[in-house]
Amino acid sequence: MFTSLSLSLFSANFFTSSLSTMEGKLISIPFLFTFFTLSISVSSVSLQYQTLTLRSLPEPQSLSWATQDSNDFQPLNSENTLAVQLHHVDLITPYTSLFNTTPHALFKLRLQRDAVRAKVLSNLAEAAAKDFSSSVISGLAQGSGEYFTRIGIGTPPKYAYMVLDTGSDVVWIQCLPCRQCYNQSDPVFDPSKSSSFTGLSCDSPLCRRLDSPGCNNKNKCLYQVSYGDGSFTVGEFSTETLTFRKTHVSDIAFGCGHDNEGLFIGAAGLLGLGKGKLSFPGQAGSRFGNKFSYCLVDRTGSPKPSYLIFGETAVTRNTIFTPLLTNQKLHTFYYVELTGISVGGTRVPGITPELFKLGADGTGGVIVDSGTSVTRLTRRAYVALRDAFSLGTKNLKRAPNYSLFDTCYDLSGKTEVKVPTLVLHFKDADVALPASNYLIPVSSEGRFCFGFAGTASGLSIIGNIQQQGFRVVFDVAGSRLGFAPRGCN
């Protein structure tokens, strides 16, 4: 009924204002008649709600990967399929040991690095649209991604933490000898002890694929990856074998970093999952049908791990697909077409496809990103969405703003609440979000906030909070991206 009340009041104010600005005597009956007609038609529409079971922020945990190297989990691995576990950075002991490990402190830090990442992605898209060319700028803000896995590098494999990132391409790890290396939880990789390590020459095709390749006096190919906060990694561009449990993937081009600086939170390096040719899917995708997917579980309510799967098994039967779009100026990101958003079963009038259009010059558009937490929408779209959601939650007690969130509620003392449904309308795919994907805890005292944010940038980002519980399928072979509800079961 909130929609009816809002529209009726708006219409009344509009017509009253119109009458007051007109000159001379006017008969007001036609205007009143129009008002009542509108009120009656809208009042028949009621918002659709769903129940949100309230959970607090998760307590910090210690995660042991001791059993991971033994490859004891093998339900999906085969010659054409591989699977590895994913864990959120907040569960990685090397990360939590660096900071105050209260739930509130970890979440606040998550939002801080998220803001930097979103800015980096937006700047990268804008720079590409202007034909800007320099060293590769990764989408991995502050060097600290959201999800980690543990894979083997070299022969015999040496296992290490790797950050997963769909917003960047180049795969890299820290290597000996280190001119400058940050602290990581595992020993730094020594390429001299790997029988499968091969340095690339400056004239190799793989070296020429780098945006800004370099060359040393020994004709060895050099790479450089720069980050939005000034962090970087520099070293030899080489090939190596990566091991995902018992599956070995050989001849993967990667950066062997000898000069690395930044806050990389214990990880040895990064596994780039972007759409470019030098990402891991770009290089090895043909061996696994050019398909991969991940599921990200809700950390506040599930002890289950998340999984990253390459191969035909990555696609489940209940997946709904939307076409992937191509940005000719920037090939790293996975662009999709967002046509609108519904709140409470009704499309928000102010959110139109034009707000998310990918321009011919490479600006705008919508990307799906594993490393951004909070979904960012262009400002006009966000304001319309926020206002529609606020109308449907007038019965909930408001709370002060928190960090980047401007719509928060005090739900202390409650175990569950009713909130309006929310559906993201992509081309050919309507994705209905669980309530826990958009009304999220920000404290241990019962404060929850609407989990979207606005951005002045033309680039919109679908973040991993909104992806929780879905299996997100990247079917590059079919040029489509899919969402499978309950895909982590």
Q: For the CA atoms of the chain, what is the radius of gyration?
A: 25
Peptide bond into 177 cis (omega under 30): yes
Structure tokens at 311: 């191969």
- Given a contact cutoff of 8 angstroms between Cβ atoms, the answer to whether 387 and 418 are in contact is no
Distance CA 448, CA 418 (A): 13
User: Per the residue annotation, which of 90, 169, 298, 369 is the catalytic one?
Assistant: 369
Instruction: Please report, as a single letter, which amino acid is at residue 99.
Output: F
Burial of 354: CB neighbours in 10 Å, binned 0-12, 13-18, 19+: exposed
Cα distance between residue 150 and residue 65, in whole Å: 8
Number of continuous H segments (helices) and E segments (strands) in the chain: 8, 31
* Contact (Cβ atoms closer than 8 angstroms) between residue 212 and residue 255: no
Residues 6+ away with beta carbon under 8 Å from 49: 344, 392, 418, 419, 420, 421
Alpha-carbon distances, residue 127 vs 11, 344, 361, 362 (angstroms):
43, 38, 11, 9
Query: 165, 186, 298, 475: which one is catalytic?
Result: 165
Q: How far apart are CA 38 and CA 41, in angstroms?
A: 5
> H or E element: which one contains 452?
strand 452-455
End-to-end, the C-alpha distance of the chain in Å comes to 36
Phi then psi dihedrals of residue 264, to 5 deg: -100, 10
**How many Å apart are CA 43 and CA 8, to the nearest integer?**
9
For the chain, give the number of residues.
Answer: 489
Q: For this structure, is 369 an active site residue?
A: yes
- Give one DSSP letter per residue of 192-219, joined into a string: GG-TT-EEPBTTSHHHHTSSS-EE-TT-
Are 279 and 272 spatial neighbours (Cβ–Cβ below 8 Å)? yes
Q: What is the DSSP letter of 319?
A: -
Q: How far apart are CA 42 and CA 48, in angstroms?
A: 14
165 included as an active-site residue: yes
Q: Which two tokens stand for residue 260?
A: 């690395």
Residues with active-site annotation: 165, 369
